[in-house]
Amino acid sequence: MGPIYTLDDFIDMLRRRAGVIITIILLGCIASVFWALSVPHVYQSSEVIQIEQPKIANDLAPSTVEGSSARRLQLIEQQLMARGNLVDIIEKYGLYEDLTALRMTEKVDLLRRSVTITGVAAPREGYGDDGRISVVTFTAEMDDPADAQAVAREFADRTRALSAAQRREQTRETLEFFQRQEENLIRDIAQLEAERADFRSENDLSLDGGLEFRRGEIGSLNEAILELDREIIATRLARERVNPDARAATIAREQADLEATLESLTTQRNLLEEQRDALSASLQTSPEVDRELARFERRLEQLQDQLEVITARRNEAEVGFSLEADERGEKLTTLEAAELPEYPISLSRKKRAAIGGMASIALALIVAFLLELRRPVIRSARQMTRETGLIPVVSIPDLSPREKRRTLGKVWQERLKAGQKGRAARQARKNARQG
């Protein structure tokens, strides 16, 4: 049975439950004031940095820094939000010194939740997303305006420093890597050339084309031997054709000359045969020598090709390192410096107290309504007709004696008078004893 249907019922409820309503409102207002005074103001300060593209076109001087700006900034954000970095900032600026009950872990978590880093993507070129960031905003919310400004600037400064250091470190490591690769290849090529020279020396291949030269020498020796054979045959025939009718001394002299010539030709032929046999013996191992030389040449060619590639990349790495050293690559610059906030972003204390007061009024009305629902009593003829459908013939007022219907004020006045009479009687007895 709901007792509140009309405005008159609501007004009657307010009159009946005025004590409860006023008590709740007073307690709620007091609590609201304490709440408004206990909650500190929150100040917000933001610093905006812009990511400038390299001053020299990437086609002319390519950078060796890999990855998109969004990925690099994400890694930097993870480093900034690390415990060690946050502890350093807290100790540097003396943050949360008034909160002595908080442990360092809780302070770190509080600072981590008080700082936000947001990036704005750069406009796309075409349909692909290159992951570039154009603007990064660092926002700090602190109880003190100076702390908010200092923290926002500190995060922005550390981001710029980390970005520049990481780019320089990456380009330096890239350059050192290709320099080491180039030095290793040059050393390997020199070592392989020394091995090839030793192999040529061992196999008497000091000159390029030694095998072909030997084969040509063997052919020349064969021709020389053939020529000597012809001369030997001719000498022998000449010896046999000596004129027998000549004088004996002449015949002896001619035969002696022919014998000497024949011996000389035979000696020459033997020497040429020995030389030819030696060359032929050395050529018996020529297939293995050819294969080994071919292996040396292939390996040298591979190393030379690798050296050309590494040298080209090392040159690019030097260009990238020079760009970062001269600060001509991608750079973070301040677009809007963090300002000292003049007004808090949180609600004012008056608004908090007003909200608490309105909440207290609403709570008081709800409690009064619940009390009415707890004991639904028909208090007027209008409620009787609405709830039961019966029309009362007559309404009998409260006819209890006036003494029984004393109000709280009258009771208090009667007790006050009784107290005065009692004090007067005690004073009279005291005066009588003294007299």
Single-letter code of the amino acid located at 11: I
Q: What element of type H or E holds 260?
A: helix 248-283
pLDDT at 11: 81
Residue 86 DSSP code: H
Instruction: Tell me the fold of 43-179+319-336.
Output: Bacterial polysaccharide co-polymerase-like (3.30.1890)
Which residues partner with 331 through β-bridges? 52
Please give the structure tokens belonging to residue 302: 């591979």
User: Which residue, 291, 308, 295, 304, is CA-closest to 188?
Assistant: 304
pLDDT confidence bin for 389, thresholds 50/70/90: low
Single-letter code of the amino acid located at 360: S
Q: pLDDT per residue over 343-388, tens digit each?
A: 887 766 778 788 888 998 899 888 888 887 776 666 666 666 666 6
Q: pLDDT per residue over 194-223, tens digit each?
A: 888 887 777 665 544 555 666 777 788 888
Residue range 287-303: average pLDDT? 82
Q: Hey, is 189 helix, strand or coil?
A: helix
pLDDT at 131: 63
User: Which residue, 154, 161, 162, 158, is CA-closest to 90?
Assistant: 154
Q: What element of type H or E holds 119?
A: strand 115-121
Q: What element of type H or E holds 264?
A: helix 248-283
User: Residues with Cβ < 8 Å from 176, sequence gap 6 or more?
Assistant: none
Angle of CA points 309, 315, 317, to nearest 5° = 100
pLDDT at 404: 47
Is the pLDDT score of 144 beyond 70?
Answer: yes
Which residues partner with 119 through β-bridges? 136
* Per-range mean pLDDT, top range of 48-52, 151-155, 291-295, 379-383: 151-155
pLDDT confidence bin for 280, thresholds 50/70/90: confident
pLDDT at 411: 56
Please give the structure tokens belonging to residue 393: 């013939």
Residue range 28-33: average pLDDT? 86
Q: How far apart are CA 338 and CA 46, in angstroms?
A: 5
Q: How far apart are CA 343 and CA 272, in angstroms?
A: 112
Q: Put the strands of the sheet holding 115-121 in their side by side order.
A: 115-121, 133-142, 43-52, 331-336
Q: Is the pTM of this model over 0.75?
A: no
Q: How many Cβ atoms sit within 10 Å of the Cβ of residue 110?
A: 16
- Do the beta carbons of residue 44 and residue 148 sit within 8 Å? yes
Q: How far apart are CA 285 and CA 280, in angstroms?
A: 10
User: Which residue, 114, 175, 152, is CA-closest to 324?
Assistant: 175
Q: Where are the alpha helices (DSSP H) in 375-407?
A: 381-388
pLDDT confidence bin for 240, thresholds 50/70/90: confident
Please give the structure tokens belonging to residue 172: 């330096």
Every domain of the chain and the residues it spans: 7-38+347-415, 43-179+319-336, 206-284
Please give the structure tokens belonging to residue 204: 């008497």
pLDDT at 205: 58
> Half-sphere exposure of 346 toward its Cβ, with a 13 Å CA cutoff?
15
Q: What element of type H or E holds 51?
A: strand 43-52
Higher pLDDT, 23 or 415: 23
Length of the chain: 435
Q: How far apart are CA 334 and CA 79, in angstroms?
A: 20
Q: pLDDT per residue over 172-193, tens digit each?
A: 888 888 899 999 999 999 998 8
Residue 82 DSSP code: S
Q: Counting Cβ atoms within 10 Å, is residue 288 exposed (0-12), middle (13-18) or buried (19+)?
A: exposed
Place of tokens 């071919």: 294
pLDDT at 247: 67
Q: How far apart are CA 146 and CA 342, in angstroms?
A: 10
Please give the structure tokens belonging to residue 388: 């039961």
Please state, rounded to an integer, the average pLDDT across all residues of the chain: 78
Among 79-88, 114-123, 186-195, 420-429, the minimum mean pLDDT is found in: 420-429
Q: How far apart are CA 101 and CA 107, in angstroms?
A: 10
Residue 143 DSSP code: S
Q: How far apart are CA 337 and CA 129, in angstroms?
A: 29
Please give the structure tokens belonging to residue 389: 């459908």
- Do the beta carbons of residue 152 and residue 139 sit within 8 Å? yes
Q: Counting Cβ atoms within 10 Å, is residue 273 exposed (0-12), middle (13-18) or buried (19+)?
A: middle
* Secondary structure tally for the chain: helices H, strands E: 12, 4
